[in-house]
Structure 1
Amino acid sequence: MSHTALIRSHRKPRRSASTLAMRAGVAGGVLSTLAVAGASGSASAAEPVTQTIELPTLTADLSAQVAQSADATQQAAANYELQAERDAAAASAAKQAKADLAEAKKKAEAKKKAEAARKAAAERAASRSAERATLTASASTDTSASAGSSASTSTSTATGSAAAVIAFVKAQVGDAYVSGGTGPNSWDCSGLVQAAFKQVGVDLPRVSQDQSTAGTQVGLSNLQPGDILYWGSAGSAYHVGVYVGDGMFVGAQNPSTGVVERPLDYDPPTGAVRVL
């Protein structure tokens, strides 16, 4: 059976000229037959006319073109998807790189600040050590000359207000050194001296520079228990302590040692003042 479909025509088919002539030629021959069958033929409806329409055949070339078009469409979609994935990966990588760079800069800045702080601390320590060495050398003559006199004062016994000051500073030995500390369990050098003299009603300045000029200047060869010792120049001292007799002093030295009692030759002072 042919692959073409039989489709009923929706309109009366056109007749060609040859068909009309042939039908005219045979009209007479069949007229009698039509007359005989007229009675029945007139009552019968005319037979429907059908026409066969042949659809175009799908060729192999057209099939190949359709297949190629489908493959091309599929490949294009795959390419778009791959490009989208690459773009997303590139954006993510760029974002991560930016974050890593910011973190690296932050760490570098913190390291730079820490190094600067360490360098500044080292420079301050070196400057203080150099100043102490210079002052110690300049005072070594006075210290040597006053050794005999110091021996005579080292056996003196504090009384009255001086005894109260000495008792207070000795009671703090072992406490921590904290810059700016004023007690009760942590001190800096001038904070300890100020608190000690406050026990006997003497209101001293807060800082070492001012305490070094708060009383009468006395020579290191004429020390008495309760005198304030200072390191550095009078009016610009960087450290103070209290002479407690017997060639000893008490002071809040540094964060490593805290409040200690030490002999004068442990760290020879530059000068002293007497306020009692």
Structure 2
Amino acid sequence: MCRWLAYSGEPLRPSTLILDTQHSLVKQSLNSPLGAETVNGDGFGIGWYPTGTTDDSKPALFHSIEPAWHDENLRELTHAIESPLFFAHVRAAGGPPIQQTNCHPFRYENWLFMHNGFLGDFVKMKRDLVFAVDASLYPHIHGTTDSEVIFHLALTLGLRDDPIAGITAAVHLIEKVGREHGIAFPMQGTMAVSDGTTIWAFRYSTQRRSRTLFHSEDIDTLRELYPDVERLNLFGRNARVVVSEPLNDMPGAFIEVPESTVAIIGEGEFDHQPFLAEAG
């Protein structure tokens, strides 16, 4: 459906990952070998927390319906800014129209969210799910995607206090509503959410056949494995990236996130925890 990446670490120009890697996100927008669709040309977006932001700082957004591979503004912007935490997403529209309000990442206050996947037979569930969004949050749904509904359900169900609990409750509700409508596999995909300090990256589907998800190995380990790769000097010791598929072909550089798992990344550390491993 889509491809995405999320970076956390020392301030970095987003172009370093979005444009300049061997299998950069822009290259994946043209050809993503591990994706459900090999071309992701139905718009893109980036969201970033400026250097020096506080815990409640609002991230900046840039969305475009242009294919990422020929958008000059994307190149200008990602070379000009630096950020300690940013999201980037290239879209393959699975039904909702190609418009800026349907481009990821989505933002609410200091939170960013993006998704690769879909809700099965979303049209059957949409009314029930949208009506479950808190009335105060409903006006903030600007597009027509299932992804934006997932985000606002999670916000409704406690994401701001406990992101894992909020996403868990949202997925439980989606699967409950799906079963009520006779949908065998309501939930599919990988999701990333951040408060500007920590990234929570989820890999889950009702069918247990989720979209791919990886995160980078720590920089110290990579420098030991590849002492002659000068590019690694661009990254600080806290640098970590979560990606739909690896950005290079270096063995050991990227670790696959297991099925039904949430990867938690912050301040150079990462942890894996089971996520709805017994659900579905």
Which structure's CA Rg is the greater one? 1
- Give the TM-score normalised by structure 1: 0.21
Q: Which has the higher contact order (CA 8 A, sep 6+)?
A: 2
In terms of fraction of residues, the more helix-rich structure is 1
- Give the TM-score normalised by structure 2: 0.21
